[in-house]
Structure 1
Amino acid sequence: MELSASEVEQFVEEGFVRVDHAFPRELADAGRALLWRDTGCAPDDPTTWKQPVIRLGDYSQEPFRLAANTPRLRGVYDQLVGAGRWLPRGSLGTFPVRFPSADAPGDDGWHVDASFPGENPSDFFTYRVNVASRGRALLMLFLLSDVGEDDAPTRIRVGSHQDIARVLEPEGEAGLSFMELARKLDVSAHRPLAFATGEAGTVYLCHPFLVHAAQPHRGTRPRFMAQPPLLPSGAFELQRPDDSYSPVERAIRRALGHDSRQG
Structure 2
Amino acid sequence: MTYETVFEPEEFDTAFDAALANCTELTRDEAARFVEHGHVVVKAAFPKQMADFTCESAWTELQANYGAERTDPETWNSVPTRLDWKPGHVRTQGSGARFLLKTHAPRAFAAQADVIGGAGRLPDDGDSLFWADAAVGNLRVPDGPAWQPPAARQPGWHKDGYHFRHFINSPEQGLLTVPIYTDILPRSGGTFIARDSIAPVARLLAQCPAGVHPDGTQAGYLIPGLIEQCSDFAELTGEAGDVVLVHPYMLHRVSVNASDRPRFIANMPVVLAEPMCFARPPGDAYSLVELAVLRALNVPRFDFTQTRAALRVQPFSFRDEAEAAKQRRLVEREMEEMAGRGIVVPDWGRDFGYMSKTELASSA
TM-score bucket (shorter structure): 0.7 to 0.9
Relative to the length of structure 2, the TM-score reads 0.62
Among candidates 278, 281, 286, match of residue 241 of structure 1: 281
Q: 2-side partners of 1:19 and 1:60: how far apart?
A: 26
* Structure 1 pair 177–58 and aligned structure 2 pair: CA distance change class (3 A): farther
Whether the 8 Å contact between 2:101 and 2:108 is mirrored in structure 1 is: no
Paired amino acid for 1:10: R
What are the superposed Cα offsets for residues 217-258 of structure 1, whole Å, 9 maximum, x if unpaired? 101021111011111122211111234211111111222222
Which residue matches 1:121? none
Which residue matches 2:51? 28
Which residue matches 1:79? 114
SS in 1 for 2:170: coil
Whether the 8 Å contact between 1:24 and 1:67 is mirrored in structure 2 is: no
What are the superposed Cα offsets for residues 28-67 of structure 1, whole Å, 9 maximum, x if unpaired? 11221111111122212223212312222266515x5459
* Structure 1 pair 206–69 and aligned structure 2 pair: CA distance change class (3 A): farther
The question of 1:184 aligning with 2:231 is answered no
Which residue matches 1:90? 130
| Residue segments in structure 1 that go unaligned for 5+ positions in a row | 118-126
SS in 2 for 1:112: coil
Which residue matches 2:69? 42
CA shift for structure 1 position 184: 2.7
What are the superposed Cα offsets for residues 105-134 of structure 1, whole Å, 9 maximum, x if unpaired? 9x961000026x4xxxxxxxxx43211133
SS in 1 for 2:122: coil
Among candidates 182, 201, 205, match of residue 245 of structure 2: 205
Relative to the length of structure 1, the TM-score reads 0.85
Whether the 8 Å contact between 1:138 and 1:208 is mirrored in structure 2 is: yes
Paired amino acid for 1:42: E
Tell me whether 146-155 or 188-197 shows the greater mean CA deviation.
Answer: 188-197
Which residue matches 2:262? 222
Tell me whether 14-23 or 182-191 shows the greater mean CA deviation.
Answer: 182-191
CA shift for structure 1 position 69: 5.2
Paired amino acid for 1:184: L
Q: 1-side partners of 2:145 and 2:213: how far apart?
A: 26
Q: 1-side partners of 2:264 and 2:102: how far apart?
A: 14
Whether the 8 Å contact between 2:97 and 2:132 is mirrored in structure 1 is: no
| Residue segments in structure 2 that go unaligned for 5+ positions in a row | 1-23, 80-87, 147-153, 302-364
Paired amino acid for 1:80: V
What are the superposed Cα offsets for residues 50-95 of structure 1, whole Å, 9 maximum, x if unpaired? 2312222266515x54599522122212211122112432334752
* Structure 1 pair 192–226 and aligned structure 2 pair: CA distance change class (3 A): same
* Structure 1 pair 259–231 and aligned structure 2 pair: CA distance change class (3 A): same
Whether the 8 Å contact between 1:28 and 1:144 is mirrored in structure 2 is: yes
Which residue matches 1:255? 296
Paired amino acid for 2:53: A
SS in 2 for 1:250: helix
Whether the 8 Å contact between 1:68 and 1:92 is mirrored in structure 2 is: no
Q: 2-side partners of 1:248 and 1:187: how far apart?
A: 19
Q: 2-side partners of 1:48 and 1:179: how far apart?
A: 34
Q: CA RMSD in A?
A: 2.5
Q: 2-side partners of 1:68 and 1:163: how far apart?
A: 37
Which residue matches 2:359? none
The question of 1:169 aligning with 2:195 is answered no
CA shift for structure 1 position 216: 1.2
Larger radius of gyration: 2
SS in 2 for 1:128: coil
CA shift for structure 1 position 167: 0.9
Whether the 8 Å contact between 2:157 and 2:227 is mirrored in structure 1 is: no
